[in-house]
Amino acid sequence: MPRRWPTVTVMAAIIALSGCTVNVNVPEQDATAPATRPAVTTPADTPATTEPGEPVYAFVAVVREKLPELGEGRSDDEVQAMADVICNALAKDAKSEDVVDATRSLGSRDGVPIDYATANEVIKLAIDTSCPGQAPRVTEF
């Protein structure tokens, strides 16, 4: 059961945030950035670390490298869900404070939200890897 808590926490945060003032359910045609997730490519001589057919997300790779405590105990899909929520909120011109609050909640462990500095870093990483069309907003974080 302890392994399910991160999944339950992320899903609860997503459900809770869907009722906030930030509309994170952005229709794909309204988003300023593509809804697809960029893949991380590896040189031919470097063996892949994932199973064949398993998606690899640039945001996930960067989070696991730069913020390992945030990705620890979470699946790639759970980590990528953070970037998806962030990018959708930014595409809907959500206030920066709302995006930071949502990110703090999404990254929470055992009900304790992540700190503001980490939330801002996560948002910047999401912009860099998953929604580069939002690059003009990076200075807000």
Instruction: From first to last of the 141 residues of the chain, give the pLDDT tens digit.
Output: 555 555 545 444 454 444 444 444 444 444 444 445 444 444 444 333 434 444 558 999 999 999 999 989 999 999 999 999 999 999 999 999 999 999 999 888 888 899 999 999 999 999 999 999 999 999 999
Would you say residue 44 lies in a domain? no
pLDDT in tens, 62-80: 999 999 999 899 999 999 9
42, part of any domain:
no
Between CA 24 and CA 85 the distance in angstroms is 6
pTM above 0.75, yes or no: no
Q: Does the residue 48 lie in any domain?
A: no
Q: Residue 36 carries which side chain, given as an amino acid letter?
A: T
**Tokens matching residue 137:** 């907003």
- Structural domain contains residue 109: yes
Is 111 domain-assigned? Answer: yes
Instruction: Read off the tokens for 27.
Output: 């229709």
Question: Does the residue 23 lie in any domain?
Answer: no
110: tokens are: 């055992």
Residue 51 lies in a domain: no
Query: CA–CA separation, 105 vs 135, rounded Å?
Result: 23
Q: Considering its fold, how many domains does the chain have in total?
A: 1
Containing domain of residue 112, as a range?
Answer: 1-14+56-141
- Residue 34 belongs to a domain: no
Distance between CA 9 and CA 7 in Å, rounded?
5
